[in-house]
Structure 1
Amino acid sequence: MSARTHALTIALTGGIAAGKTAVARRFEALGVHVHDADVAAREVIEPGTPGLQELVAAFGSGVLDASGRLDRPAMRQRIFADAAARGRLEAIIHPRVRHWLRERALAEQAPYCLLAIPLLAENIEHYRWLDRVLLVDVPESVQITRLIARDGIDEALARRMLAHQASRAERLALADDVIENSGDESALDDAVAELHQRYLTLANRC
């Protein structure tokens, strides 16, 4: 068999408040590159980009703030109760985010990299090129407790937020590896260290 021609590309995903950021930080501390879909979503609509130009063409110059950047609060309000507007927004941003992530994965010189993709399960048909999926998993009851504490919201809103994401079962069905993160965050150290060695081994196989 020939040697791998690209870095092993692993998606890091999980439901809201599962602890994806805490896991990503630990991989980064080991020298692993983590390319974040949320960072991509900002970069692809920076001033001067085709993405921002297309947003203005679709929604008008009123979506810009005084500095010429996307007025995110105004856009959130605009799409909150307008499914068609949300669809137009996502049709502009999401393909550019996927391209951004894939370009960075293909340019990697390291044995492997992580792509942090919170809504992977909701968009898995566009990510068939991934090599592996790592899920940070917690029970929904833990997500709700963390959301209430983190965001200062009530349980009803926390449950509505969860309802807008893929189910836990859908995420688990996609996962090649799972980090269970309902306990103390310090337990992540060993889990990440073990996966790091596993991924290095997988990446170095011909």
Structure 2
Amino acid sequence: MLTIGLTGGIGSGKSRVADFFQAWGAAVVDTDVIAHQLTAPGGQAIEPIRQAFGHEFIAPDGAMDRERMRTRVFQDAQARRRLEEIVHPLIFAVTKAQTLAAKGCYLVVVVPLLVESGRWRDRVDRICVVDCDTATQVRRVQQRSGLSVATIERIMAAQASRQQRLALADDIVLNDGDTTLPLLEQRARAVHQAWCALSG
């Protein structure tokens, strides 16, 4: 099955674009959703995180305390590596199982940190970047999550740059500040039709 790695910076709109592809018959495996499941109450990553970081990083409901962990890993590169060593192998195992079971006209694997990880180029046939300018990213993330501009800029600084993502892209879906939902759908559909032709 033709396999697409879908990526984009925070606030680029990659989830919305993935939803379009799924509605048009693609199989979608979202590593961000998997990561949330692993760190939810009862998730496979919770006990290793508790052992590595302490009880204070587990919220009262039993999920990972995302806010506390975000603050910690942005201040401490070693802590970030430790968290990645716990979570990344689990994400990869679940992703692999889901991709093997996937059925659709092609497969989309949504990987927010595809460029940064360096692991995905040889695991996918094509890389598709959902692209937008940085000012639009900041505005969208603020509207969605209420994070401060400083926090959003720290997250963006830890991610690949727009130029680095575009340099790896086989396909680009532009979703900048001027993009309406119908226009985004039109751009996504053009890419979808090209992939259907390739996988046909």
Corresponding position of 1:4? none
C-alpha distance in 1 between matches for 2:145 and 2:56: 29
- Structure 1 residues 82, 26: closer, same or farther in 2, change over 3 A? same
CA contact (8 A) 2:129 2:169 kept: yes
CA contact (8 A) 1:46 1:52 kept: yes
C-alpha distance in 1 between matches for 2:70 and 2:154: 17
- Structure 1 residues 188, 49: closer, same or farther in 2, change over 3 A? closer
Give the length in aligned residue pairs. Answer: 198
Corresponding position of 2:167? 173
Corresponding position of 1:193? 189
From 64, 73, 96, the equivalent of 1:79 is: 73
Corresponding position of 1:108? 102
Q: Please, what is the CA RMSD of the aligned residues?
A: 2.5
Corresponding position of 1:3? none
- Structure 1 residues 101, 127: closer, same or farther in 2, change over 3 A? farther
For structure 1, the residue ranges without an aligned partner over 5 or more in a row are: 1-6
From 35, 40, 45, the equivalent of 2:29 is: 35
For structure 2, the residue ranges without an aligned partner over 5 or more in a row are: none
- Structure 1 residues 47, 98: closer, same or farther in 2, change over 3 A? same
- Structure 1 residues 169, 77: closer, same or farther in 2, change over 3 A? closer
Instruction: From the CA coordinates, give the structure whose radius of gyration is larger.
Output: 1
Q: Sequence identity of aligned pairs in percent?
A: 38
Q: TM-score, normalised by structure 1?
A: 0.82
Give the partner amino acid of 2:88.
Answer: H
Q: TM-score, normalised by structure 2?
A: 0.84
Report the CA distance between 1:148 and its aligned residue.
4.6
